[in-house]
Structure 1
Amino acid sequence: MGPFDDLPGPDSGSTPSDPPPLTMEERAGVLDDLAELEVFRTLLEPTGIKGIVVDCPDCDEEHHVDWALMQANLRQLLEEGQTGRHEPPFDPDPDDYVSWDYASGYADGVAAMAEREEPGGGSTGRHARDD
């Protein structure tokens, strides 16, 4: 069986099945991811970081996804319950992309520094997702 064998042909009369809608919990998680992505982009894009690197379980390779495409993927996931396949950037420089965990840690570090600089600020050990 080839990769296109499960796609309906013009004579099949069938359409690919739609994914089940996201649960409320899944939708909330995607909305949280969108909010975090915006924070990451705001903090990291000025430093030259172009986006997020994602480990792909399908091909066992890293995909370098720029900020706008990652945002579009998350919005598509919200609207359609799945993301489409997108062409990866041609010959990306891995140094221009960071993992989600790195971006989250960076945001946490910036927040901690800002908190320390506030009058009466102290460390609360909060994570970006706790906001």
Structure 2
Amino acid sequence: MSTWDETPGPDFGPDYESGDRPPPLSIDERAGVLDDLAELEVFRTLLEPTGVKGIVVDCPDCDEEHHVDWALMQANLRQLLDEGQTGRHEPPFDPDPDDYVSWDYASGYADGVSAAAERDEPSGPASSGRHALD
């Protein structure tokens, strides 16, 4: 018997040393990721001071929610821009679900803050339906 275990280890994703990298993102996909990065920064600026630690994401691979802190979410999006996909990351240990919000919640919160700021602005335009990035 060998001192080296011959059983395969965990799957850490595809091995790109062989040159079979994923195709680059299209221009529209890149624009979408850049928009997500900009939105994420708005969300973090507004929500982090209230104690929110990040975003909760429904994972289609394992059918579970993943609690992703702000910095890791930003890193994932940047990796998606650079490499065309995100790597696998270890979830936080025993996260408190109350410390994380969905993307939709964060977007709605940002829209609400924006609407309130417009309403309170003395000479602001009376428009509605603006998004966090507007």
Bucket of the pairwise TM-score, normalised by the shorter protein: 0.7 to 0.9
Give the conservation status (yes or no) of the 8 Å contact 1:116–1:123.
Answer: no
1:35 aligns with 2:54: no
Aligned residue type for 1:61: E
Tell me which of 74, 79, 82 is aligned to 1:79. 82
Unaligned runs of 5+ in 2: 1-7
- How many angstroms does 1:126 deviate by? 1.3
TM-score (norm 2): 0.85
Tell me which of 23, 28, 35 is aligned to 2:26. 23
Match of 1:116 in 2: 119
- Structure 2 distance, partners of 1:44, 1:80, is 29
Match of 1:127 in 2: 131
Deviations 1:55-90 (A, max 9, x none): 000000000000000000000000000000000000
Query: Equivalent residue of 1:78, what SS?
Result: helix
- Structure 1 distance, partners of 2:19, 2:60, is 22
TM-score (norm 1): 0.87
Query: Equivalent residue of 2:18, what SS?
Result: coil
- Structure 2 distance, partners of 1:84, 1:57, is 15
- Structure 2 distance, partners of 1:42, 1:7, is 35
Q: Which runs of 4+ in 1 moved over 6 A?
A: none
- Structure 2 distance, partners of 1:7, 1:26, is 21
Percent sequence identity over aligned pairs? 82
**CA-based RMSD:** 1.9
Unaligned runs of 5+ in 1: 9-13
